[in-house]
Amino acid sequence: MVSLKILSILTISFLCTLASAQGSNQAQPIDESRRSTPPRLMTPPSKGSTISGTFSDVYVQIKDQDPVRRAGMRATLLRRAQQVVPIVVIVDNADSYLFAISNWEAMIRFPILWDDGTPNSREDIARFVRAFKPEQVLRISGQSDSPWVGDRDAKQKVFEKTLSMAVDESIGNWKTAFDRLAERELISPGMVVTDVTDPAWTAAIALCAGRLQPIAFINKPSTPTVLPISMLDADNLERSIERAASLSGRSWDEIGDDIDAITLAMNTGTMIKEGKLALTDRLGRTEASGSGKRWAWCGQIIGAESRSVYQAMCSLFLSIDQGFIWDGYTSKQPWAQYDGTEAGKILSEKSFDVEVHDQPKYTLNDWKLRMVRPIGKASDSDSSGALIMLMNSKGPSNVFDLPGSVDGQGKPGHLPVMNVPTALHIVHSFSLQRPIARTSVGGRFIERGVYVYAGSVDEPYLNAFVPTPSIARRLAGSLAFSTAIHYDDNKVWKITVLGDPLVTFGHAGQRIEGKINVPGSIDIEERYKQLLKDKDYQGAILDLAMLGRDKDVARIAIALMSDQPDLFSPKSAFISIPSLFRVGEYTKMIDAYERLDAFGQSHALMQDLLWLSSPYLLARSASQVDERSRIEALLRSNIRTDQSIEDAESLAMAMRKHSPDNAIGILEALRPTLSGRDLKRLDRAIARARK
């Protein structure tokens, strides 16, 4: 499929610059009783050190570094060594995915994304394409020699056969291939654990092949992702992982040895019932309940096939080169330790393009005004640019409070649209308590494009979080993501990592020329051009949206609405609205919104985009009575059920000067739908609107 040849030895100069680190929230609870001595947080050298030589030489020299640093350094080195064909392949089923993975050739690879036909899948693909900037995007429907059918044993054999082909087809066995690399002391710093009956197997096979990690097949616990897992099941899972690590032939039982990371690609509970602990913080620790020593850092991948693939491909093929920081904390101690401005300076020193929001423009109102625009730049440069987002907030799982907010006014629907895939660390008590619920902070962040996420499953107290500047220092110093966000010596606690634990800053490999020839493959760029010629505007808009070509989507949508409105279908409007939002065509977005059918107008993503743009729309139309009435009516008919009071109050505040009775009426109309505490919240919102 790819006709290319790999160099057997790569000579590189590996510069590891690792800066200092150490280890709060106005109103974020503080608990100093959990430990009597300060937690350990490895401090990398401030001036850095240069390690050079052949690939093998560099890899061996990493053994002389601090044990906590080694996994991230090895993961960074292995990713830099890969050779990337700048072509994105899109598939829509397991057989095509396996076929594509099997055609990776050792260190020569290309990204693969899975389109399941949903708007979220389309958004993920476009987000990746914007950051990766491929030369070509192909849709293939090739069939695997071994189809993904049968029972667990049959699928495990297909998995291993495909992995073997991707790692080294000439050897024909992934274990033998990894053993031969180990003879040259080239050993991946992690292992992957999955159940082939779980959708996250798709991420598992990519991360095994892409990071040269051994696979362990373990039957997943019966607990679904929406429920907490028992400590008994967590202990059994740990024992199974330890057995698999022992059988791998690699050293594993100390930090700094061969295996220092576990990727749990498995949809099961992310929180342990007893103690409300993070499953990923318990795994990689010996003894019952994780009471023994830590031997590995863990990250968990959850979600459907498409979402799991997205997380893996972002980890393997995107460099993080920009930052977005929002610090909602006071400058008083101990919250000042989490200073976002300092974190921004650290990233800027590493040549990151950083946007920082801190005192005094850090309130909820400032947030809403900023989120009228997406975050993350998708420039036309050749660099592969994902985003690191660092945020300090507080609140329960369905609220993020910032200064100036009352009654939990910061809701998941106010979270930003992301132009590019994002790695996130958030100091917040409960953001990942319900990670698959879009009505939670964590769930909405994940929906919006976060591919690796550090947050809390339950109240951890402020001092459990590594301070934000230290997160920046440790990540900038090539520490692996799951290592960087934890204290080095904490006991099992509540901070979890969802995503690949071995995500690091740094280059994502060398781009090389290559072609992918598959009979029946479709070049998306060529297809959209033909669709335009055939006047299939809906099909062309769909392809352009998946290519992340927002300006082109907006241009066609605006032209159709103006000149050929009969050809601008409700589905075309649905596909176009995210692009119109991204390029700032908010008024035209309203025109498109009014062309949606009932399904489209009630769709969660469409409503979020409408409300995110509302500060601009309401301000712009303030002196235009007809336009103002149009926008107010559209907002009123699309108040979101999961944050109805917040939406209604926001609209009422905009209307109260010119139409006070209607403003209060919007809020009062909610009364029959509410009960208990929500009724009291409604009364307080009405009182504020009357002032």
Cβ of 333: how many Cβ atoms within 10 Å? 8
pLDDT of residue 23: 33
Average of per-residue pLDDT across 29-48: 60
* pLDDT tens digits, 157-176: 999 999 999 999 889 899 99
Identify the residue whose tokens are 């913080």: 281
Percent of the chain with pLDDT over 70: 92
User: Does the pLDDT value for residue 24 go beyond 50?
Assistant: no
pLDDT of residue 27: 53
pLDDT of residue 423: 98
**501-to-75, 223, 479, 566 alpha-carbon distances in Å:** 10, 22, 10, 50
* pLDDT tens digits, 51-80: 666 777 787 789 889 999 999 999 999 999
* pLDDT tens digits, 132-146: 999 999 999 877 778
Q: 93 burial class (0-12, 13-18, 19+ CB within 10 angstroms)?
A: middle
* pLDDT tens digits, 424-473: 999 999 999 999 999 999 999 999 999 999 999 999 999 999 999 999 99
Is 0.85 surpassed by the pTM of this model? yes
pLDDT of residue 45: 59
Identify the residue whose tokens are 């006071």: 330
Within 283-339, residue ranges assigned H as helices are 305-317
Q: 363 burial class (0-12, 13-18, 19+ CB within 10 angstroms)?
A: middle
pLDDT of residue 54: 74
Q: Could you tell me which of 495, 385, 458 has the C-alpha nearest to residue 131?
A: 385
pLDDT of residue 109: 97
List, edge to edge, every strand of the sheet that includes 450-456: 215-217, 190-194, 261-265, 297-301, 495-498, 450-456, 422-427, 386-392, 320-327, 353-357
Average of per-residue pLDDT across 566-585: 97
Percent of the chain with pLDDT over 90: 85
Averaged confidence pLDDT in the chain:
92
- Pick the range with the lowest mean pLDDT from 64-68, 574-578, 670-674: 64-68
The band of 30, judged by pLDDT with boundaries at 50, 70 and 90, is: low
> Within a 13 Å sphere around the CA of 419, how many CA atoms are in the beta-carbon half?
29
CA separation for the pair 390, 648 (Å, rounded): 30
Average of per-residue pLDDT across 286-309: 97
pLDDT of residue 16: 36
E strands of 171-274, at which residues? Answer: 190-194, 215-217, 261-265, 271-272
pLDDT of residue 279: 98
Q: Could you tell me which of 451, 481, 483, 487 has the C-alpha nearest to residue 467?
A: 487
pLDDT of residue 143: 74
- What contacts 435, CB < 8 A, 6 or more positions away? 225, 270, 302, 442, 443, 446, 453, 498
DSSP letters of 482-549? HHHTS-TTPPS-SEEEES-TT--SS---EE----B--TT-EEHHHHHHHHHHTT-HHHHHHHHHHTT-
pLDDT of residue 44: 67
**Residues linked to residue 522 through DSSP beta bridges, in sequence order:** 139
The band of 38, judged by pLDDT with boundaries at 50, 70 and 90, is: low
The band of 183, judged by pLDDT with boundaries at 50, 70 and 90, is: confident
pLDDT of residue 60: 79
- Pick the range with the lowest mean pLDDT from 40-49, 350-359, 385-394, 566-575: 40-49
pLDDT of residue 21: 32
